[in-house]
Amino acid sequence: MTSKVTYTGSLRTVSTHIKSGNEFITDAPTDNNGKGEAFSPTDTVATGLASCMLTVMGIKAGQLGVNMENTTAEVTKTMASNPRRISKIEVQIHLPFEADDKTKKILENTANTCPVHYSLHPDIEKIVEFHWK
């Protein structure tokens, strides 16, 4: 088992990672009858894409001897209706270091081939931009 999710009422869940015991909550967004006091489930999906991209980039950067600390990703999720779903995820990755063209290409390709990217439905538009120092 990977995780356990408990519905606690008022459109809130608590997700527990079995191995570590770490937890996070989700709330329904305000535009869908919720409080919007935490990530929504669809926010976690969009954020998961960026987190996965940075993680695999970090693995590859380590192999290349590149320090990626303080790299950030800004995520914007767009919803559609009928049915309600994620229609677009935009990720702006800010890399606060210089790299040669070959390293940039390797790291960008690594990000764009992360497991979450491949796991998302092909109808979800994914726009990824890299901003190098």
pLDDT digits (tens, 9 = 90+) for 103-127: 999 999 999 999 999 999 999 999 9
Q: Where are the domains of the chain?
A: 3-32, 41-132
The SS3 of residue 19 is coil
pLDDT digits (tens, 9 = 90+) for 59-115: 999 999 999 999 999 999 999 999 999 999 999 999 999 999 999 999 999 999 999
Global confidence as pTM = 0.95
CATH code given to domain 41-132: 3.30.300.20
Place of tokens 């800004």: 74
Q: How many residues does the chain have?
A: 133
